[in-house]
């Protein structure tokens, strides 16, 4: 048996319940991980609220949590990359999340060895935001030296990582942040910081190659004016597009819904001569392996706002929902 925080039923701001549940069963390609720390993401709150019910079918009661650092205690019969005693970090794949617990079984393809220089708490803050930043900047945008990228909400979890990665790729980086976070985002490498409380970014930024949108629909639309012709507007906060529906293997009805949701912004992007796409990050142990050297060399450093004890998982989630965290929030499980 193990302790875990479960979603009993979908509901806005519904409290997770601490319960005793059976330890997870191990499949042939799984590693069983004793969880030492878990990252907390806004995605956790959105799933609990039921926002992703049509596409991510978790049947209550289920365990939340998308980031993990811990120690491998057992491996499945077909596992070749890991052995008991290995220190790992991971973002378990959709459909198999559940890091707000004492143990989790994860497919070995989603797992990477933990960076040697990071604590368990630091490592747990990394996977989801690092994979999001990598998949946007490297895979989708193909960001190159000398290009200009606008990363919204620079002091958030994705923002703090993406700024550092974009700088390592040789780009000029603009971001938005409040006055209290300006020093932080500059220390991470931001070249231009727009105070979103005082200034309109769309009036100050021009001719950008890439925009990462993580905000609302209004901000998404304003972002079109920041891009040069042929630029790329990549949103991690929606609306989803047909390509996303294809990747998820959704049925025809949901594919049509996704296409309809993004029709407005796709048409506006077309008129502006730029490309719109949506990214919902996916689990990828091999990509984490590429990110590890950047952490071990100090090129990218984790940014953690605060660490909560396991018993205060609900408080940690509430803190993340306020949207004021600088960097990541982590739960210390062991």
Task: Give yes or no: residues 142 and 253 share one domain.
Answer: yes
Both tokens assigned to 153: 């909400």
pLDDT tens-place string over residues 28-70: 999 999 999 999 999 999 999 999 988 888 999 999 999 999 9
Domain of residue 326 covers 2-126+302-332
For 34, list phi and psi in degrees, rounded to 5: -80, 115
Q: How confident is the model at residue 155, as a pLDDT?
A: 98
Q: How confident is the model at residue 140, as a pLDDT?
A: 97
Give the total number of structural domains in the chain. Answer: 2
Nearest to 134 by CA among 247, 300, 325: 300
Whether 170 is covered by a domain: the verdict is: yes
pLDDT above 90 (res 250): no
Instruction: Confirm whether pTM is higher than 0.95.
Output: yes
Both tokens assigned to 190: 């931001």
pLDDT tens-place string over residues 107-149: 999 999 999 999 999 999 999 999 999 999 999 999 999 999 9
Task: Give yes or no: residues 88 and 174 share one domain.
Answer: no
Whether 7 is covered by a domain: the verdict is: yes
Q: Average pLDDT of the chain?
A: 97
Q: How confident is the model at residue 64, as a pLDDT?
A: 98
Confidence of residue 211 (pLDDT cuts 50, 70, 90): very high
CATH number, residue 149: 3.40.50.720
What is the CB neighbour count within 10 angstroms for residue 207? 10
pLDDT above 90 (res 243): no
Q: How confident is the model at residue 84, as a pLDDT?
A: 98
Both tokens assigned to 109: 């393809």
Q: Which of 116-120, 181-185, 245-249, 313-317 has the lowest mean pLDDT?
A: 245-249
pLDDT above 90 (res 248): no
How far is Cα of residue 232 from the mean position of the Cα atoms in its chain? 20
What's the CA gap between 30 and 287, in Å, rounded?
18
- The answer to whether 124 and 48 are in contact (CB under 8 A) is no
Whether 289 is covered by a domain: the verdict is: no
Task: Give yes or no: residues 91 and 149 share one domain.
Answer: no
């Amino acid at each position: 048996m193990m302790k875990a925080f479960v979603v009993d039923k979908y509901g806005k701001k519904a409290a997770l319940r601490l319960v005793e549940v059976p330890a997870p069963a191990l499949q042939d390609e799984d590693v069983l991980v004793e969880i030492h720390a878990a990252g907390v993401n806004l995605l956790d709150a959105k799933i609990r609220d039921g926002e992703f019910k049509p596409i991510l079918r978790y049947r209550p009661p289920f365990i939340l949590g998308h980031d993990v650092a811990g120690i491998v205690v057992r491996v499945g019969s077909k596992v070749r990359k890991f052995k008991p005693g290995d220190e790992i970090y991971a973002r378990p794949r959709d459909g198999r999340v559940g890091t707000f617990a004492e143990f989790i079984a994860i497919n070995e393809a989603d797992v990477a060895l933990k960076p040697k220089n990071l604590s368990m708490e630091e490592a747990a803050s990394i996977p989801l935001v690092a994979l999001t930043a990598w998949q946007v900047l490297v895979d989708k945008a193909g960001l190159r030296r000398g290009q200009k990228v606008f990363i919204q909400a620079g002091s958030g979890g994705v923002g703090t990582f993406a700024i550092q990665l974009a700088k390592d790729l040789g780009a000029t980086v603009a971001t938005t942040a409040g006055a209290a976070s300006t020093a932080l985002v500059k220390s991470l490498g931001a070249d231009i910081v727009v105070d979103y409380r005082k200034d309109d970014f769309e009036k100050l930024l021009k001719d950008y190659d890439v925009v990462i949108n993580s905000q609302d629909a209004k901000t998404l639309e304003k972002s079109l004016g920041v891009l040069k012709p042929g630029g790329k507007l990549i949103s991690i906060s929606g609306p989803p597009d047909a390509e996303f529906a294809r990747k998820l293997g959704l049925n025809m009805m949901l594919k049509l819904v996704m296409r309809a949701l993004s029709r407005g912004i796709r048409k506006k992007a077309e008129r502006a001569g730029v490309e719109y796409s949506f990214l919902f990050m996916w689990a990828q142990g091999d990509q984490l392996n590429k990110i590890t050297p950047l952490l071990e060399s100090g090129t990218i450093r984790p940014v953690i706002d605060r660490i909560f004890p396991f018993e205060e998982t609900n408080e940690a989630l509430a803190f993340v929902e306020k949207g004021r965290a600088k960097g990541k929030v982590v739960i210390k499980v062991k």
